[in-house]
Each structure stands twice: as structure tokens, then as C-alpha cells.
Amino acid sequence: MNPLYDTIGLNYANLRRPDPRIARQIEAALGGAQTVLNVGAGAGSYEPTGRQITAVEPSARMMRQRAASNATLIQGRAEHLPFDDKSFDRR
């Protein structure tokens, strides 16, 4: 895998800070969902707490920048997700 963010994602987590307005919208959209699939998860900036998160990200560089969390992290692409339909409350 040679994703674009392996090249341009240097120091991404420090430079790209989450916007609280966007985070609130994501939380509202998730509603009562407990299992969430985050495709293109990046550095995990907008992942909510208190839910079971499965994060899929193609870039190893972005994955290394993630803060410690309880998310299950999978290196992969949206085109080839290893999950059955309806495996998550929200995606």
C-alpha cells in the first residue's frame, strides 16, 4: 500500500486540530450507535469516545500518529473492507 498520506501526512496530527463544531455534528449524527466503522480514519481526530470504534486507514504514517485509544485499528482501503454487511451500527 502506498497511500498519498504516507507522503503528505508528516506531522498531520499536530498540524490539523479537530474543529469542535464538526465533532459535535459527528456526535449528533451517530446518535445512539455503539459500534462505529470509521473509514479513512486518519489520525483519529474526530473519533468519539464511549463507543466501540473500528478505524480503517490506508496510510501507515497516519496510523502511527494516532493517540492511544480503545479503537480497533486496521490498515486497509474502503474498496476492500473485511466486514459483513450490517456489522456496525454506523459507518
> In the chain, where are the structural domains located?
5-80
Q: For the segment 21-45, what is each residue's pLDDT rounded down to a tens digit?
A: 999 999 999 999 999 999 999 999 8
Q: Mean pLDDT for each consecutive 10-residue tract of the chain (91 residues)?
A: 68 80 95 96 91 95 91 94 93 86
H/E run at residue 14: helix 12-15
- What per-residue confidence (pLDDT) applies to 50? 93
- What per-residue confidence (pLDDT) applies to 5? 66
Q: Is the dihedral of CA 44, 47, 53, 54 positive or negative?
A: negative
**pTM of the entire predicted model:** 0.84
| Assigned CATH topology for domain 5-80 | Rossmann fold (3.40.50)
Q: Is 81 helix (H, G, I), strand (E, B) or coil?
A: coil
- What per-residue confidence (pLDDT) applies to 1? 59
Contacts of 91 (CB under 8 A, 6+ apart): 36, 37, 39
Nearest in space to 39 (alpha carbons), one of 19, 29, 20, 54: 54
